[in-house]
Structure 1
Amino acid sequence: MVKIRSKKKRKTPHVAADLTTREGRARARREMVWQDHGFLRAAFSNLHQISPEMWRANQPSPKKVVEYAEKLGIRTILNLRGESTKGYYLLEKEACEKAGITLIDFQVFSRDTPTKEALFAAKELFETIEYPALMHCKSGADRAGLMSVLYKLLRENVPFEEAVEQLSLKYLHVKHGKTGMLDAFFQTYANYNVGRAPEDWKPFLDWVEEDYDRLKVKEDFMRDFGKGVQVDKILNRE
């Protein structure tokens, strides 16, 4: 019997909406509100101030961008989702330009262990951006949580236990899913320092440079990973 393999359909590249046209702008708004679940964020921004100069939130609408500029004095927005051709990004970029906010695309991931390059780049980012600043992902829970912990460690130099509180249910972070990989990453650093007094912990970036094995942390997490994937499917998170 001859088996015929079906060819995988190639995804058609998403073409960005043209905001200069009425139809394009309407399409961008539909993508933001319905495809990206903007309707769920209409009344809840998951907005938190984590220092006098830094805020965290979920994906802002154009209206929220203006509000952040006028009421919070935000000068920089860190988009942790990365650049996109989708409506939510196009409208945010346009709103930032109009409000005089610098939009920086700095992509990180919620279901993977961070690379060494990204960790060192985060430190440089925090040292060079204009404040007050706000960082966001889609829900403001996981990628924003990761970067908030790094901000606390690398810019504010707060104790580790205080920094990792940025990854908690308070901000809607759920560790009982693949997003728990972020918790595993920071826990690996804590485990390395077990038995040492807090003041004797190895500096975080020294550990990253000399001891951190990204793939091993990921493999260990996935080996023990159980039913958490169902949580991700139920919440339909990015």
Structure 2
Amino acid sequence: MNPPANSLGHPPGDTMFSKVYARIKQWERSWKSSFGTDISTPEGRRAARRHNNIVDHAFLRRILPNRYKLSDDAWRSNQPDPVHFPALAKIGIKSVINLRGPDRFSYYLFEKEACADYDMTLYDYELFARVLGSPDEYLQLLDLMDSVEKPMLIHCKSGADRTGIAAALYLLDQKGASIDAARAQLSLKYAHQRWSKAGILDHLLDTYAAHIEADPIPVRDWLANHYDPEAVTASFLAKRSKG
């Protein structure tokens, strides 16, 4: 016999579990934001390093930078750690485009400091992995990638999704790459999972590919005059609902 449901129609155990889970998540969010916002003192730096390793998983990226060359002018990677900057300086990086946007936490503070130490200009430009940008957001990103001093490094947190779509758009716009070469920037090689919600970025490129079969226009023209993020999102969700 099933246990009686509460007024919302859920078994009592479900409600209790949901409350406990919500409290755990609330505690986790509070703990994650309780430190790692200061690198101005030795104690603050130690706490920030712990935050960077535990909360932002820097210990993994320190070993696996997910760094690849796109062209003589551009590289892609995950969030660079200070230990990576000697290698970045060696390959001549002059500009760093941070697709995570500015933040008050450890990873950003260490990156900002390292860029200053190695005479690299840091540009903050926030994108999202599971939500499409507007036409203007992608066009402005193309303008930014076109205008910064080269060679440049493009990165997000893991170097998989946001970095992948930025790399794809860069190759299409500034290197005249084929759509297949652009699509390859969103692949398991870079830890991108097409079947996840981040697959909406693949769907963006697929939509452009379908358009240029009949109307072969540059990606900038498509973004400015044909790209509809709401329609692309709707078709992606419909496709996912069919399995």
- Consecutive unaligned residues of structure 2, counting only runs of 5 or more, are 1-6, 9-18
Match of 2:201? 182
Aligned amino acid, residue 98 of structure 2: N
Q: Matches of residues 89-168 of structure 1 in structure 2 within 5 Å?
A: 89-168=108-187
Question: How high is the sequence identity, in percent, across the aligned residues?
Answer: 38
Find the aligned partners of 1:32 and 1:219 in 2 and give their Cα distance: 36
Contact 2:36 2:51 (C-alpha < 8 Å) held by counterparts: no
Describe how 1:1-238 pairs up with structure 2 within 5 A: 17-69=37-89, 71-194=90-213, 196=214, 201-226=216-241
**2:175 aligns to what SS in structure 1?**
coil
For the 8 Å contact 2:35–2:51, the answer to whether it is kept is no
With structure 2 as the length reference, what TM-score do the two structures score?
Answer: 0.83
Letter in 2 for 1:160: I
Q: Distance in 2 between matches of 1:151 and 1:47?
A: 16
Q: Could you tell me how far 1:227 is from its partner in structure 2? A: 10
Q: Report the alpha carbon displacement of residue 193 of structure 1 after superposing the two structures with TM.
A: 2.6
* Cα distance between partner residues in 1 of 2:219 and 2:38: 44
Write out per-residue CA displacement over residues 160-192 of structure 1, whole angstroms, 9 at most, x where no aligned residue.
222221111121211010010000011111112
For 2:154, give the aligned amino acid: M
TM (normalized to structure 1)? 0.84
TM-superposed CA distance for 1:17, in Å, is: 2.2
SS class of match (1:179): helix
Tell me how large the CA RMSD over aligned residues is. Answer: 2.5
Q: Secondary structure at the match of 1:19?
A: coil
Structure 1 ranges of 4+ moved more than 4 A: 11-16
**Paired residue total:** 221
Structure showing greater radius of gyration is 2
Q: Deviations over 1:118-166 (max 9, x none)?
A: 1110221122100111111111111110000011011112222222211
Counterpart of 1:233? none
